[in-house]
Chain A
Amino acid sequence: MSSDQLLSRKFDKLLVANRGEIAMRVIRACHELGIRTVAVYSDVDRHSPHVRYANEAYPIGPAPARESYLVIDKLLEVARRSGAEAIHPGYGFLAERAEFAQACHDAGLVFVGPSPQAIRVMGDKQMARQTVAAAGVPIVPGTPPGLNDDELLATADSIGYPILVKAAAGGGGKGMRMVYRRDELPGALAAARREALAAFGDGRVYLEKLITEGRHIEIQILADVRGHCVYLGERECTLQRRHQKLIEESPSFIVDNDLRQRMGAVAVAAAQSVNYVNAGTIEFLVDRDKNFYFLEMNTRVQVEHPVTELVTGVDIVKEQLRIARGRRLRYDQADIKLNGWAIECRINAEDPYNNFLPSTGVISTIRLPTGPGVRIETAVYPGYEVTPYYDSMISKLICYGETRAEAVLRLRRALEEYRIMGVKTNIPFHQHMMDSHRFLTGQFDTRFVEERFSMDDREATDDLEAAIFATLVAHRQGQQASQIVARGTRDMSNWKWIGRWERMRG
């Protein structure tokens, strides 16, 4: 533990350097622990609930994140003005930027997360691979970064196709390309470099063997400042589209106790190889023979953390805060038991019937599902505008059941109860998935959604009912309009009345 890299001490006021549902999640955890909260908001987020739920709120500039949520100086200035002693970065934005963690440290603020050095190592895919491999963690065969195209082409032959082109500074599928034949590689390299350069300002790419029929399974860990580290079981995140996770569950259909223990031990070793502190996630690719390979470590809280919370009973965000306050982890590995099953659906503003195109607009109505086993994390509200400035996730719907079957049935019920109008959402996609035989029997891999799952065979059967509803509403509206026009105008035609009214307006 390099104590000069990490500040941990008791704090009573925390700045949440984020927005949306994760800002709400952090604020709630703080308030449960008696920590006062400071929110920051961009010009378009003044009405967001995180502003209202926090104890204090400060504006930090225009809607584009690079002019507000990504400006380190503005955040530190708000911390100074408000007297916040700690910063929680949430996920996205600055959460995995080592210079932000360092700047917090330099300003005497507790950063709720690992050391800048751990973020730096794990944030560089190559350094991460080398570091964890040295600690005995299995990695997927691939190349180092920084090779030119000729060298990559040559190495690709020895690794064998299919192959994955990945950005050295990448994440979230950006700068990533699948290549099945040698002649596709030069084009894929150019596209990946262009995308990586635009997204991360770093066009370096590397190659990795593509594991087909692979599953994406990750292990959640918690580590305290004394180096005590436990794993909280796995999350199955195989169902993705263009490398964006859509559905996550815990436990995984294919992980048994033996595999869980082996993956957990390796995850802890990977975390300890960088003296990791706080909550983190080690992502693995698992092939059909249940060999598992390190993909990357996410040095922050994950979007999908609630499924782990529901099956372990551990409040991960509160543990993050306790760890950052310098407290000893309250759990030994033997205390961690998985109980029941939890599944999360990410509700995004996108049209599943039109190639998942993002749907912008103003949310007019929201009514959330409730009842047993249903948890919702959201920060949108009627009047909220879905803009291109921030990502399209509008809510997370998480259902818990004693068994996987019960969790699925609850999700079906909750998805049906979910009412949102004004933007299109991917709720029908989730409904279709919950009806799919492959999902129910756990038979899917990371390419299932894109290659073998179609909305075309979904039969939305309420056409007639929709017609009746719309007609009744239109009829009632027409009647009301004619009553207004007709009132007190017995001797006058409606046309005359309208004409008179028009003249009055003019």
Chain B
Amino acid sequence: MKYITTVKGQEYVIEIDHDDQIVVNGHPYNVDFQQLSEGGVLSLLINNRSLEALVEPRNDAWEVLIHGELYTVTVQDERAYRLARARGSGPAVTGEATIQSPMPGLIVAIPVSEGAAVRQGETVVILESMKMENELRSPREGVVKRVHATRGATVEKGQPLVTIGDAAAQT
């Protein structure tokens, strides 16, 4: 089987045809992959280099914990990868970006209003959660198209708060 695996925007072509050998971007590796009965622990020997990881599925991706760092990894077989490509779900830099509440909380302030120009990284919402004020920043430069929430409102995780769009695109 051939897989296209993506980590931090970097694609790896990984072929798995035998239990003890894989080919990554054309380079063969000897592997011994063991799933321990103990709490989801995985042991991998790559050319005898020993690695331990935890791997769990989350939101159509895999979370992999190695050496204290958490990696989000998507794995697609060739067919799924081509289908996704055909549908044009590649990395889209244009289009509207909606900032969603990353957790339940209380809106302390929304320092921008509809129509305002924002820079990338500019604070657009201040959300209080876990007794802390958190600044939510704009992922892109553009114009505030829509403010979905109001100051003082309680919001749920995933609730849209502010939508940023292109300055030129009038709707």
User: Per-position contact with B for A360-374: 1 when CB-CB < 8 Å, else 0?
Assistant: 100011010000000
Interface string of B26-44 (1 = CB under 8 A from A): 0001010101000111101
Which chain A positions have C-beta within 8 A of B7?
463-464, 466-467
A474 engages B129 (CB within 8 Å): no
- Minimum CB–CB distance for A284 against chain B, Å: 25
B69 touches A472 (CB 8 A): no
Q: Are B132 and A466 in contact (CB under 8 A)?
A: no
A334 surroundings in chain B (CB, below 8 A) = none
**A244 to B156 alpha-carbon distance, docked (Å):** 25
Partner among B6, B44, B67, B131 whose Cβ is within 8 Å of the Cβ of A468: B44
Give bound CA distance, A418 to B69, whole Å. 10
Q: Given A365-B54, A475-B1, A475-B3, answer yes or no on A468-B46 (Cβ-Cβ < 8 Å).
A: yes
Query: For residue B102, which residues in chain A have a CB less than 8 angstroms away from its CB?
Result: 357-359
In Å, the complex CA distance between A128 and B14 comes to: 65
Residues on the B chain within 8 Å of A364, using CB: 40, 56
Find residues 191-222 in chain A having any chain B CB closer than 8 Å to their own CB: 195
Q: Are A465 and B51 interface neighbours, CB within 8 A?
A: yes
Give which listed residue, A382, A420, A466, contacts B64 with CB less than 8 A: A466
Whole-angstrom distance between the alpha carbons of A388 and B154 in the complex? 12
Complex Cα distance, B42 from A14, in Å, reads: 43
Interface residues of A in 453-488 (CB under 8 A from B): 460, 462-476, 478
Contact between A392 and B130 (Cβ–Cβ < 8 Å)? yes
CB-defined contacts of A382 to chain B, threshold 8 Å: 39
The answer on a CB contact under 8 Å between B157 and A469 is: no
Q: Among B29, B55, B134, point to the contact of A470 (Cβ < 8 A).
A: B55
Q: Of the 9-residue stretches A231-239, A270-278, A424-432, which lies at the interface with chain B?
A: A424-432
Query: A244 to B35, alpha carbons, bound, how many Å?
Result: 39
Residues of the A chain whose Cβ atoms lie less than 8 Å from the Cβ of B69: 427-428, 431, 460, 462
Q: Bound state CA distance, A478 and B51, in angstroms?
A: 23
Give chain B residues whose Cβ lies under 8 Å from the Cβ of A107: none
Question: Is B55 in contact with A465, judged by CB distance below 8 angstroms?
Answer: no
- Report the bound CA distance from A384 to B104 in whole Å: 17
Nearest A residue to B33, CB-CB? A472
Q: How far is the CA of A427 from the CA of B54 in the complex (A)?
A: 15
Residues in B whose Cβ lies below 8 Å from that of A464: 7, 12, 24
B68–A415 CB distance below 8 A: yes
Residue numbers in A under 8 Å from B153 (CB-CB): none
Q: How far is the CA of A244 from the CA of B54 in the complex (A)?
A: 30
Q: Is the CB of B130 within 8 A of A470?
A: no
Q: Which residues of chain B come closer than 8 Å to A226, judged between CB atoms? A: none
What string of 1s and 0s marks CB contacts (under 8 Å) between B73-88 and chain A? 1010100000000000
Given contacts A424-B70, A465-B46, contact A472 B16 (CB under 8 A): yes
Q: Which residues from B are CB-within-8-Å of A149?
A: none
| Nearest CB in chain B to that of A422: its residue | B56
Which residue in A242, A416, A478 is a CB contact (below 8 Å) of B68? A416
The interface residues of chain A lying within 8 Å CB-to-CB of B133 are 195
Q: List 10 A-B contacts (CB under 8 A).
A: A416-B68, A420-B65, A431-B69, A464-B7, A464-B12, A465-B51, A469-B55, A470-B71, A474-B75, A478-B77
Known: A460-B69, A464-B7, A476-B35. 14 other contacts (CB 8 A): A358-B129, A358-B134, A360-B104, A367-B41, A388-B130, A421-B70, A422-B56, A464-B24, A465-B44, A466-B64, A467-B6, A468-B24, A472-B44, A473-B42
Interface pairs A-B: 7 shortest CB-CB: A466-B71, A470-B73, A470-B62, A474-B75, A466-B64, A460-B69, A467-B5
